[in-house]
A and B are shown apart, each in its own frame.
Chain A
Amino acid sequence: MGSRLALDDGVYLRNSVQTAAKILVVGHFAVGKTTFIGTMSEIPPLRTEEVMTQAGQGIDDPKGAPGKTTTTVAMDFGRLTLSDQLVLYLFGTPGQQRFVQVWEDMTRGALGALVLVDPERLEDSFPVMDLVEHYGIPYAIAVNRFDGTPVHSVDEIREALDLLPETPVVNCDARDQRSSADSLIALVRYLQSRLN
């Protein structure tokens, strides 16, 4: 390979691919975003980091340095080639309110978002749902089942999250490819229904 950075063939897209689409996989810390992306991606998931300098705000203000803060935001993402012409990228997006700059970049051109929730920590999903709604991104809820957790009914979760009647709620095991694909399919069907 020498000093060149060119990588194995499997890393690159087919030459015939014309269109790239993007779906966000969002949720609070440790809800299973990275697992989900790893399960679905055809390439080893990659991480991008964005260094942000911005006016300090909220609870993260370092004492005595009120002017600016520098934060590194990491995002994991994966890739799925869905046809000769189309590739879908799945971006795991952190749910913290303060990463507004990242959210603007992430949401631009996104088809929609899959919001992963932990049924035992539903309230932790509120901030990220606020963000998704703020940016007008249509979303579906995927309830990531962890081993041994008591099962709440979809209706209970719908009520607890105060969802619109049409917002899809599906059960999902982020470790399982079929289950994860089904939750993406539910999201895409919902996105289609909104156009009718």
Chain B
Amino acid sequence: MTTDDEPELEQEAAELVRPYVITNGRDLLDDQQFSLITLVTVHPEPPRTKPLDPERLGVLDLCSGGFLSIAEIAGHTRLPVGVVKILVSDLVHEGHLCSRAPVPSAQLVDRQILEEVLNGLQARFG
């Protein structure tokens, strides 16, 4: 037993709640709008709403420090990606979070992004 057991309790709580409870019974969406690398942060002017449930509040708190990807939110909260997508989707639609669009698709990758990736790698590691 450790005295600083708050993180463990949080983790246990997350594991004790089944995903469909967290998402209010909604099925996992195949939502093209939110990918693993969609970047989100808290909206500068959040709406006044009734209190949020702990999972949504947790995502909101996590995002209050700046931009993170959906994958990072899942990694930090230890929630499945599919669940995080639903929570983020709700929070964006309700105006709590705002997102930046990911790269659309492999076919639409443009030269500019590859050029920027190459330049960035070379500048950093070359």
Bound pair (A, B): yes
Name A residues whose Cβ lies closer than 8 Å to a Cβ of B. Answer: 3-7, 9, 11-15, 17-23, 43, 46-51, 77, 79-80, 82-83, 85-89, 91, 105-111, 136-137, 177-178, 181-182, 184-185, 188-189, 191-192, 195
Name B residues whose Cβ lies closer than 8 Å to a Cβ of A. Answer: 6, 19, 35-39, 58, 61-62, 64-69, 71-72, 74-78, 80-82, 100, 102-106, 109, 111, 113-126
* Contacts A21-B117, A106-B36; A11 near B64 (Cβ below 8 A): no
When C-beta atoms are compared, the residue in chain A nearest to B78 turns out to be: A49
A100 to chain B, nearest CB (A): 13
When C-beta atoms are compared, the residue in chain A nearest to B18 turns out to be: A51
When C-beta atoms are compared, the residue in chain A nearest to B82 turns out to be: A50
Interface of A is mostly: mixed
In angstroms, Cα B113 to Cα A20, docked, is 9
B14 to chain A, nearest CB (A): 11
CB-CB nearest 3 A-B residue pairs: A82-B120, A12-B66, A46-B75
Contact A178 B125 (CB under 8 A): yes
Contact A19 B103 (CB under 8 A): yes
A182 to chain B, nearest CB (A): 8
Among A9, A19, A85, A182, find the residue whose CB has the most chain B CB atoms closer than 10 A: A19
A74 to chain B, nearest CB (A): 11
A55 to chain B, nearest CB (A): 16
In angstroms, Cα B109 to Cα A108, docked, is 11
List of A residues within 8 angstroms of B76 by Cβ:
5, 7, 11, 46
Contact A22 B81 (CB under 8 A): no
